[in-house]
């Protein structure tokens, strides 16, 4: 079984130094929790390995302040955007058009790079940032000699759609011109996210498969009062951020309404981005069922994941990492729109006997959701072997592998290149 290491241990803080190495992590953060949670895990792991460094996360997440970061990690919040159902974007809060919001974000990112002058930069998923907003900063970083790393989750999208998206935005050229390394947070024998892209010879030697990012129980343990259901074996139902998870929750609630013999009760965590109307409707239905309880946003979801007997989830990257890390039998109900990312990951994980998968027929066009089908899956779930029984070596080696890969740049007590004042002019 995979061990659960407690993160953010209360080690004595090292002396502060303006000459210690610096890391900048960029996360474009549209609408959800996945990117910021992945960046948080990496930042905390780097600080644990190199306590003398400083890490800044640039993020558009509206809930970043809810998360716990280690000493040495801070963040710069840029104006948020959100993804529409058609795949386009719009400002989350500002009464600006998208172009104006992108320009503002780009200026803030550029100024942060000029002032912070990082030695290592990790860009999450988007090689040139949202709508190219990262290009001015990348030009500066390239001239100043920073090590620039592109960090990719195990699955991005189906190859044809990824090619269309990256070719249009100039991302393919950026792989060659800007990046020193491409870290894939997964295993090559599970999935190869860049397979099928043209010009492989230009960046293939930069690609390194690190393994999945293991999650840990947060520390110090908060004095949270969780619902009574958590005092016994229970199923954790999590749609991630919740913005597009109403279908999964409705299907689970309907199963309990239809079949009162489902053995384990369920705790449903809505997520911060579920609409108020949906949450109110679900809360009323949950209140009528003695085997169900609901919870809003839980930034330390790892605590509940660790307590749960098994999990029902949509199957985003971070939830998948938590299922593996806490070794929980899991039923994944992946979304198939607007991306096939979750479906590709879930299908491959089921083939490897890591999880069970169930498609939502209302998304695939095969009809309505049948409560009896979900009820049958919930009956079977507690008997499913945990992921560790698949016996995949190095599956969760991602965080230590990242630290090892960056050790030459971050181990020294002083910065490995000139300070910003003496750097090549930007």
Would you say residue 16 lies in a domain? no
Would you say residue 95 lies in a domain? yes
pLDDT of residue 7: 54
Same domain, 209 and 246: no
Would you say residue 243 lies in a domain? yes
DSSP secondary structure string for all residues of 221-245: PP-----GGGGS--EEEE-TTSTT-
Same domain, 202 and 315: no
pLDDT of residue 405: 98
Same domain, 49 and 166: yes
**Is-contact 370 364, C-beta < 8 A?**
no
Same domain, 177 and 274: no
Same domain, 167 and 264: no
Same domain, 201 and 292: no
Residue 102's nearest CA partner among 89, 84, 118, 116 is 89
Domain boundaries, position 343: 228-390
Per-residue pLDDT of the chain (426 residues; tens, 9 = 90+): 344 444 555 456 667 788 899 999 999 875 556 678 889 999 999 999 999 999 999 998 877 777 778 899 999 999 988 877 666 788 888 899 999 999 999 999 999 999 999 999 999 999 999 999 999 999 999 999 999 999 999 999 888 888 888 888 889 999 999 999 999 999 999 999 999 898 888 899 999 999 999 988 876 555 567 788 899 999 999 987 656 788 999 999 999 999 999 999 999 998 777 888 888 999 999 999 999 999 887 777 888 899 999 999 998 898 999 999 999 999 999 988 878 999 999 999 999 999 999 999 988 888 899 999 999 999 999 999 999 999 999 999 999 999 999 999 999 988 876 544 454 455
pLDDT of residue 420: 44
Same domain, 297 and 235: yes
Would you say residue 426 lies in a domain? no
Would you say residue 221 lies in a domain? no
Query: What pTM did the predictor assign?
Result: 0.89
**Is-contact 235 267, C-beta < 8 A?**
yes
pLDDT of residue 219: 64
Same domain, 51 and 189: yes
Long-range contacts of 375-380 (CB under 8 A, 24+ apart): 375/255, 375/256, 375/258, 375/259, 375/262, 377/331, 378/235, 378/252, 378/255, 378/262, 378/264, 378/266, 378/312, 378/331, 379/259, 379/261, 379/262, 379/263, 380/356
The CATH number of the domain holding residue 64 is 3.40.50.2000
Would you say residue 319 lies in a domain? yes
pLDDT of residue 202: 87
**Residue 274: Cβ-neighbour burial (10 angstroms; 0-12, 13-18, 19+):** buried
Per the structure, how many domains does the chain have?
Answer: 2
Same domain, 146 and 47: yes
Same domain, 127 and 178: yes
Structure tokens given for 153: 């989750």
Same domain, 271 and 344: yes
Would you say residue 425 lies in a domain? no
Would you say residue 222 lies in a domain? no
Contacting residues for 169 by C-beta, under 8 A, at least 6 apart = 128, 131, 132
d(CA 355, CA 361): 19
Long-range contacts of 200-209 (CB under 8 A, 24+ apart): 202/175, 202/176, 203/175, 203/176, 203/179, 206/175, 206/179, 206/180, 206/181, 206/182, 207/182, 208/181, 208/182, 208/183, 208/184, 208/401, 208/405, 209/184
Same domain, 406 and 305: no
């Amino acid at each position: 079984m995979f061990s659960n290491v407690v993160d953010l241990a209360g080690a004595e803080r090292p002396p502060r130094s303006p000459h210690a190495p610096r890391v900048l992590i960029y996360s474009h953060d549209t609408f959800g929790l996945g990117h910021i949670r992945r960046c948080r895990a990496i930042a905390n792991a780097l600080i644990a390995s190199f306590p003398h460094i400083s890490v800044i996360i640039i993020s558009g997440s509206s809930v970043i302040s809810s998360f716990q970061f280690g000493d040495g990690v801070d963040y710069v919040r840029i104006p948020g955007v959100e993804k529409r159902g058609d795949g386009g974007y719009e400002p989350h809060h500002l009464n600006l058009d998208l172009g104006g919001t992108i320009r503002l974000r780009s200026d803030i990112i550029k100024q942060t790079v000029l002032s912070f002058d990082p030695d290592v930069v990790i860009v999450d998923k988007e090689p040139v940032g949202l709508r190219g907003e990262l290009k001015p900063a990348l030009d500066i970083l390239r001239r100043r000699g920073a090590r620039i790393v592109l960090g990719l989750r195990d699955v991005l999208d189906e190859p044809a759609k990824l090619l269309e998206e990256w070719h249009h935005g100039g991302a393919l050229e950026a792989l060659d011109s800007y990046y020193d390394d491409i870290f894939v947070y997964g295993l090559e024998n599970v999935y190869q996210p860049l397979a099928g892209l043209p010009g492989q010879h230009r960046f293939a030697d930069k690609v390194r498969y690190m393994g999945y990012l293991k999650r840990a129980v947060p520390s110090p343990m908060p004095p949270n009062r969780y619902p009574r259901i958590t005092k016994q074996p229970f199923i954790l139902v999590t749609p991630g951020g919740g913005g597009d998870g109403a279908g999964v929750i409705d299907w689970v609630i309907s199963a309990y309404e239809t079949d009162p013999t489902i053995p384990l009760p369920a705790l449903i965590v809505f997520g911060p981005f579920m609409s108020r109307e949906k949450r109110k409707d679900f809360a009323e239905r949950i209140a009528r069922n003695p085997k169900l309880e609901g919870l809003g946003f839980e930034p330390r979801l790892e605590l509940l994941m660790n307590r749960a007997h098994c999990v029902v989830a949509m199957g985003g990257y971070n939830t998948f990492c938590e299922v593996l890390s806490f070794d929980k039998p899991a039923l994944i109900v992946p979304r198939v729109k607007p991306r096939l990312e979750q479906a590709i990951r879930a299908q491959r994980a089921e083939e490897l006997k890591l999880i069970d998968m169930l498609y939502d027929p209302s998304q695939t066009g095969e009809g309505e959701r049948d409560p009896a089908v979900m009820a049958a899956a919930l009956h079977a779930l507690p008997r499913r072997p945990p992921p560790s029984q698949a016996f995949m070596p190095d599956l969760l080696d991602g965080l230590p592998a990242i630290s090892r890969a960056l050790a030459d740049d971050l181990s020294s007590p002083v910065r490995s290149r000139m300070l910003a004042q003496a750097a090549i002019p930007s």
